[in-house]
Structure 1
Amino acid sequence: MAFHPLLVELGVEELPPAAIDRLSDALADGIRQGLNDAEVRFGEVTAYASPRRLAVHISELADKQPDREIERRGPALAAAFKDGQPTKAAEGFARSCGVDVGDLIHLETDKGTWLGYREQQQGDAIEQLLPAIVDKAIAALPVPKNMRWGALRTEFSRPVHWLVMLYGERVIEAETLGLSADRLTYGHRFHAPAAISLAHADDYLDALENAYVLADRQRRRERIREQVLAEAEVQDAQAVIDDALLTEVSGLVEWPVALTGSFDERFLEVPPECLISSMKANQKYFHLLDEHGKLKPLFITIANIESHEPERVIDGNEKVIRPRLADAAFFYDVDRKTPLAERQAGLDSVVFQQQLGSLADKARRSAVVARAIAERIGGNSDHAERAALLAKCDLVTEMVLEFPELQGIMGCYYARQDGEPEEVAQALYEQYLPRFATDAIPQTRTGLALALADRLDTLTGIFGIGQRPTGAKDPFALRRAAIGVLNIMVKAELDLDLRELLNLAAEQHQQLPKAEGLVDEVLDYMLERFRAWAQDEGIAVGSYLAVRARPVTKPLDFARRMRAVHGFAARDEAAALAAANKRVSNILSKQTHDRNISVNAELLQENAEIALHRALAARREEVVPLFQAADYSAALDCLAALREPVDTFFDQVMVMAEEPAVRDNRLALLAELQALFLEVADIAELQQ
């Protein structure tokens, strides 16, 4: 068996930049899966891609499948012969194998003896296997939107122009998407448009680089990053390299060349976020900051050509960006003529959700909840109510209509201009924080109140009309909203009761079709998000389950308990006490005795139960103040000392004594033990 490298390349017209990485990885995965299914041995698989090509290189690929022994099982021996003669079942099986009955063998199994057949099957050559494997991989690509071209009925994301399939030095005869495989590839559209004949699969990267194409995606990205940083250094500036923009720009060029342009300083009067959004969204430019972190009137563009007259390329980009920035300046000037507060009426005509009313309705509901939250967390309730009423007003401004990603940011700017209190203005930006799990939370009390109120309104409203997220479908981003609420309450250390706030938020809605049981449903959904939250924090699921088993409705308290249980679980005593609590839970669940009965010390007979009773009394006195202070870690550390008396109790005491009074007294003792731990969590769940 010999091994040679393989190269597969599909040449296309410019692909959507956002889809290139996904398509490239999918092609590599498809070919890898096809080879695995065919049981062909292969080495490292590398995906390459540029705007005009998708390629896969395999370092070592076997030239054939391994030979295999095929075993087939036929009828049971008892049914294969009658009076020493083969039955129709045996003859039919032999025919299906292409042999005579005498060529069949006996297969011994634990269920008896069967008629069988074995043969050596020669593995297919890689030349026979690859066409179907590659064709299937290309057909399965997650193409965003197919198109046709010319008179062909072939469909793909963009018109296809060439297909390379080289196994070592040999071309694999194959067809896909109407193309016949060859060894011809093509370089840069302008610098090297002529065909390039590849002599060997390993020549690919070097041949393309000589033709002004960097096919290695990561190398192309790093080339762009290095050039942008170098250009910024020349300008004595700091380049802001957004990873998403870097990936998108990398999907637009094959031979990146960074160039620096400038724009009129008068545009700096516009909020920098507006200019940056315009440069990034429309022109894919990288912006530059000075030593104070302020925007400089410069930008870096990535050309797809090494021009002999770069100043002409720069001049063209400067001419294009000028009207874009002028539009941003115009929108800003127009928007400032109307105070945010006067835009509230416009929200009545903007639908939030058909059954839940307009954005104005949402703002009014959120204002009530935000005011109540502000009162509870020591904030300014008037500011919270005002911020909630203004929160969505920037959505109807010209700037946000043009650049939706500026929502909240522009509201903050416009509120400051209108003379609103600084905390109100800041809250308009902070209402969207955190945008993801590791993002910052609001820093002002007003921002905290608004961010919570807005999310709670959305959660209760959408659940209330029966549109709970299912599977991968979450059009209103309720998972993110729920995790945002938890993060805010925990990170800001807000001692708020989630059930109480959900009740308040639900009361602001009118005629919700799923109002019955709504608060319990939303509460369960939100607390369930703690499972993923715990995993992100490195907390085992058992610690989550232990706290989830208790009626804890304050997220901050929930998180503190979870962390305490997680720390307790690492102690040597944890496993034994968890097992003991599980045993106690099982015993008590099967009994019908009165749980309100207290332990009668006079009925304690065994030394072990007397010792446990005394240990419980001593520990209770120590831990009650700790429970009150929510110092759950210290409380569990204290309760860990119960391991020895608990173990001794179960070793030496018969709980289910014959005498009812003694039995009930021992059950009451176990109930006291369980109750102490349940003040924190049900540690019996640590066994799961």
Structure 2
Amino acid sequence: MPDLLIELFSEEIPARLQGRACEDLKKRITDGLVEAGLTYAGAAAFSTPRRLTLTVQGLLAESPTTKEERKGPRVDAPEKAIEGFLRGAGVSRDDLDVRDEKKGQVYFATITKPGRAASGIVAEVLEDTIRNFPWAKSMRWGAGSLRWVRPLHSILCILTDDAGEANVVPMDVDGIASSDMTEGHRFMGNGRFSVTSFDDYRSKLKAAHVMLDTSERAEAIWQEASNLAFAQGLEIVDDKGLLAEVAGLVEWPVPLIGNIDDEFLGLPPEVLQTSMKEHQKFFSVRNPKTERIEKFITVANRTTADNGATILAGNQKVLAARLADAKFFWENDIRVAEAGGQPWLDSLDNVTFHNKLGSQGERVARIAALARELAPVVGADADLAEAAAKWAKADLSSEMVYEFPELQGLMGRYYAAPAGHGAEVADAAQDHYSPLGPSDDVPSAPVSVAVALADKLDTLTGFWAIDEKPTGSKDPFALRRAALGVIRLVLENDLRLGLKENSAQAAQVLLKLAEWQAALLGAKAEQKTATGEEADAAAKRVHDLAHQVEAATALVASLPADLLSFFHDRLKVYLRDQGIRHDVIDACLAMPGNDDLTLLVKRAGALSDFLKTDDGENLLQGYKRANNILSQAEEKDGVEYSYGADLKYTEAEEEKALFNALTAAEGTIATAMKAEDFAGAMVGMAALRAPIDAFFEAVQINTDNDIVRRNRLNMLNQIRQICLQAADLTKIEG
């Protein structure tokens, strides 16, 4: 069984595209081979900046011969129909069989497809893959029609048999003929060479200064860089994303450690790290004693006679220019902050958040108003929460954030103290964006929590107001992430927050601000005596705001329920990841107070744990049996059996025992539910398991005595009502 080796050699492939390209090459080739009848034992794909490589082991030498039986028309069908069948099946009339069927005699054709050599199949599949490769971006060069991410130079494609003999798979793609030749490193290689197998290919590349495996290059970079930093008593700032990117930029990584000029060491470490990463792809090297970033590590793509001195000198020169810009931004921003930062706040009025939701300044006003409303709920000072919300977006106007948008929030924290704000406001500026993802830390400081909740609730209510909701996989405004952020803020801070009420508050804030804006601009429009164009622009703005007011007014009534449903959908995903079944969540969502997420999750957790026990599972079956019998009887009799059972109409001992157990459990469970002790309520329900089992074992519900039957049905209703205090068990599966 031969092994297949493919290499597509080109100009430099962008690092961000290499991982996906490996997966696509492997999938498209292996899927094509299997579809053509060639199975294989294993496959692996690799990438470097200049090549995509695929090895397939244990490939069949040829596809098997197959036979397909195809049913045709009846024997007495029109001649044209029979001829069409013959053409489609590729057979003659003499090759047809006639068989008796219910509706008469029918033609059948047996189509034999002989096996094909692997070489021909591989050539077809590879050419199709190359011509239709799903690059995110591709280019054309020369006079051909072939598109590739960068100009494609050569195609290596060989099949190596069990004896070790390699045969080139002949093919030609726009003048690029396949061969068994490749080449090593662009600068340190020794020209082109031939290979006979994957092992031979890999070892010869290594000798030609090419590490084929991306993970091997990343490991080599990290190990050598760590050693360089450790030798000087320093440590590398961990950055897995940068490591993966740099590993895709070099074929023979050579880490070098360089110096940062003293004049830049006073910059915030995050500014140094971001500038070096974004502009130069440098790793930051930190002093563990001072937490300052003092040096950098760059990764060259070759060894040099001067051990990288020339490379470092050039990199340090470019870095100094970049950091000089960062220092200029920092010093300018500090001057603005020390003056109170008002120019930043004023400029937010000229930055559009969304054309239907106004400017960033208008949004900040909404968030500040809502943060003040939320402050008592989260235990924060209302004045401090409002001040923090007003400052939270100020750094969006700073020069540093304009250059490095990823530093938003962080720079607001740095600039807060020079602007005269305390630590709580500074922390809120950085933390109010969190959590950004499922693994992100959740703010716990009350002021930060108030501003973070206000920010996310304003986002959600605003986009709901203009009907920009997520659809399918599309969520351009990250509303799912915002909803999950609210959920985690509430749950991980154990907040008792009614989402309906607070969503309505957010909507009211949106409405009040829109009304105020419309009134203000309307007054300005009336007083306008300037040119007609200016008056028309003001009138249009008033008209637009009128629609915004109308939308916000409707929102106040409809948003809470609609948005709550969206929160519930995100909560289901969140809880499923924690092992709570969807039907358990549905059973708890059906209960009152389902907009209190903390209460809802406590109920779902207790119910989930209870249903995992034998008592829980058996009680659920008893409840379902009671509910089914009762529902059928109520439908048949046209009445509700909800008046309660009477002990004097009980007959069997099991019946009396259940009556007493229900009476005791009713009070126990009601008390526990009032105290929100869901675990205690489940313990009370567990006590019903044995008497309910015994009751159904010994008692016939539909007895001939109507009084006894009604009493027993009323007892079943008691079972239903007691169990439904905890959750809607009808929604539990099984």
Provide the residue aligned with 2:196 in structure 1. Answer: 199
Kept after mapping to 1: 8 A contact 2:91/2:111:
no
Q: Which amino acid aligns with 1:678?
A: L
Q: Residue 102 of structure 1: CA displacement?
A: 6.0
> 2:151: which partner in 1?
159
Q: Separation in 1 of the partners of 2:141 and 2:628?
A: 70
Counterpart-to-counterpart distance in 2, 1:398 and 1:244: 26
Query: Which residue of the other structure, out of 227, 238, 246, is the alignment partner of 1:249?
Result: 246
- The one-letter code matched in structure 1 to 2:341 is L
Out of 615, 635, 643, the position equivalent to 1:573 is: 615
Distance in 1 separating the partners of 2:728 and 2:174? 61
Change (3 A) 1:423 1:111: farther
Query: TM-score w.r.t. structure 2 length?
Result: 0.87
- Match of 1:493, SS state, is coil
Moved more, 376-385 or 649-658: 649-658
Alignment-derived partner of residue 271 in structure 1: 268
**1:507-564 deviations in Å (ceiling 9; x for gaps):** 1123263625221111101111122112221222232222223241111112112211
Shift of 1:212: 1.0
When residues 584 and 88 of structure 1 are mapped into structure 2, their CA distance, relative to the original with a 3 A threshold, is: same
Instruction: State the AA in 2 paired with 1:328.
Output: A
Q: Give how far 1:406 is off.
A: 0.6
Q: Give the structure 1 partner of residue 603 of structure 2.
A: 561
Question: Does 2:313 align with 1:315?
Answer: yes
Task: Name stretches of at least 5 consecutive residues in structure 2 with no aligned partner.
Answer: 161-165, 512-548
Kept in 2: contact 1:593–1:664 (CA 8 A): no
Are 1:225 and 2:222 an aligned pair?
yes
Output the amino acid matched with 1:254: E
Q: Give the 3 Å change call, closer, same or farther, for CA 165–113 of structure 1 in structure 2.
A: same
Q: Distance in 2 between matches of 1:360 and 1:657?
A: 74
Query: What does the per-residue CA deviation read over 1:273-306, in whole Å, with 9 as the maximum and x for residues that have no partner?
Result: 1111101111111112222360231011111111
Q: Cα gap change, 1:94/1:342 in structure 2, threshold over 3 Å: closer, same or farther?
A: closer
Equivalences for residues 7-156 of structure 1 within 5 A = 7-75=5-73, 79-80=74-75, 103-105=95-97, 114-156=106-148
Aligned residue for 1:447? 448
What letter is aligned with 2:584? S
Deviation (angstroms), 1:456 = 0.7
In the TM superposition, what whole-angstrom CA distance separates every residue of 1:147-171 from its partner, at most 9, and x where no partner exists?
2223333222211111111111111
Q: CA deviation at 1:69?
A: 2.1
1:465–1:512 CA contact under 8 A, matched in 2: no
Q: Which AA in structure 1 matches 2:121?
A: L
Cα distance in 2, alignment partners of residues 497 and 517 from structure 1: 16
Alpha-carbon distance, 1:349 to partner = 0.9
SS in 1 for 2:59: strand
Q: What's the CA shift for 1:580? A: 3.1
Q: Check the 8 A contact 1:348/1:358 in 2, yes or no.
A: yes
Q: SS at the partner of 1:72?
A: strand
2:530 aligned with 1:530, yes or no? no
Instruction: Find 2:293's aligned residue among 293, 296, 315.
Output: 296
- Decide which of 656, 661, 670 is 1:624's aligned counterpart: 670
Of 13-22 and 533-542, more deviation after overlay is shown by 533-542
| Partner residue, 1:671 | 717
Task: Kindly indicate whether the alpha-carbon contact (under 8 Å) linking 2:91 and 2:109 is maintained by their aligned counterparts in 1.
Answer: no
C-alpha distance after superposition, 1:285-340 (max 9, x if no partner): 11122223602310111111111111111111111111111111111111111233
Q: Distance in 1 between matches of 2:678 and 2:12?
A: 60
Q: Which amino acid aligns with 1:116?
A: F
For 2:88 and 2:696, locate their aligned partners in 1 and report how far apart those are by CA, in whole Å: 67
The 3 A distance-change label for structure 1 pair 66 and 100 is closer
3-state SS of the aligned residue for 1:41?
Answer: coil
- Contact 1:374–1:445 (CA under 8 A) maintained in structure 2: yes
Give unpaired runs (5+ residues) of structure 1: none
Alignment CA distance shift 1:112-1:267 (3 Å): farther
1:496 partnered with 2:465? no
CA distance 1:112–1:193, change in 2 (3 Å): farther
| Partner Cα distance (2:378, 2:169) in 1 | 71
Distance in structure 1 (CA, Å) of the matches to 2:645 and 2:413: 62
CA contact (8 A) 2:416 2:426 kept: yes
Rounded Cα–Cα distance in structure 2 between residues aligned with 1:332 and 1:218:
37
Contact 2:75 2:105 in 1 (8 A): no
Report the CA distance shift for 1:606/1:465 in structure 2 as closer, same or farther (over 3 A): farther
Cα distance, 1:584 vs. partner? 4.3
State the 1:609 CA deviation. 3.8
Matches within 5 A, 1:647-662: 647-655=693-701
CA contact (8 A) 1:131 1:173 kept: yes
Distance 1:108 1:549, change over 3 A: farther
- Alpha-carbon distance between aligned partners in 2 of 1:18 and 1:126, rounded to the nearest angstrom: 33
Query: 1:590-605 residue pairs with structure 2 within 5 A?
Result: 591=634, 593=639, 597-605=643-651
Q: 2:179 aligns to what SS in structure 1? A: coil
Secondary structure (helix, strand or coil) at the match of 2:265 reads helix
User: Does residue 1:613 correspond to 2:650, yes or no?
Assistant: no
**Which has the higher mean CA deviation after the structures are superposed, 409-418 or 133-142?**
133-142
Instruction: Tell me what 1:409 maps to.
Output: 410
What amino acid sits opposite 1:644 in the alignment? A
Match of 2:689 among 643, 647, 651: 643
**C-alpha contact (below 8 Å) 1:287/1:295 kept by paired residues:** no
Is 2:496–2:599's contact at 8 Å kept on the other side of the alignment?
Answer: yes
Distance 1:108 1:502 in 2: 72
Q: CA, structure 1 residues 20+650, in 2 after alignment: closer, same or farther (shift >3 Å)? A: same
SS at structure 2 position matched to 1:8: strand
TM-aligned CA deviation for residue 675 of structure 1: 3.0
Structure 1 residue 687, shift from structure 2 partner: 1.6
**Rounded Cα–Cα distance in structure 2 between residues aligned with 1:109 and 1:211:** 69
Distance 1:193 1:22 in 2: 30
Counterpart residue number, 2:517 = none
CA contact (8 A) 1:8 1:55 kept: yes
CA apart distance, 1:670: 3.1
Shift of 1:227: 1.5
Q: Aligned pair in 2 of structure 1 residues 383, 137: CA closer, same or farther (>3 Å)? A: same
For the residues of structure 2 that align with 1:102 and 1:36, how far apart are their CA atoms?
A: 33
Provide the C-alpha distance between the structure 2 equivalents of 1:93 and 1:142, rounded to a whole number of angstroms.
Answer: 37
**Contact kept? 2:65, 2:114, Cα under 8 Å:** yes
Cα distance in structure 2, aligned partners of 1:17 and 1:508: 46
For 2:178 and 2:87, the matched residues in 1 are separated by 40
Q: Any idea what the Cα deviations from partners look like across 1:634-664, whole Å, max 9, x if unmatched?
A: 3213312212222333444455667776665
Normalising by structure 1, report the TM-score.
0.93
- Give the AA of the match of 1:144: A
Q: Distance in 2 between matches of 1:595 and 1:240?
A: 70
- Structure 2: how far apart are the matches of 1:441 and 1:579? 40
Range moving further from structure 2, 307-316 or 635-644? 635-644
For the residues of structure 2 that align with 1:678 and 1:365, how far apart are their CA atoms?
Answer: 41
Distance 2:42 2:132 in 1: 21
Aligned length: 680
Mean Cα deviation higher: 91-100 or 466-475 = 91-100
Change (3 A) 1:410 1:538: same
In structure 2, distance between residues paired with 1:96 and 1:145: 40
Does the Cα contact within 8 Å between 1:546 and 1:682 map onto a contact in 2?
Answer: yes
How far has the Cα of 1:342 moved from its partner?
A: 4.2
Corresponding residue to 1:335 among 326, 333, 336: 333
CA distance in 2, matches of 1:30, 1:537: 35
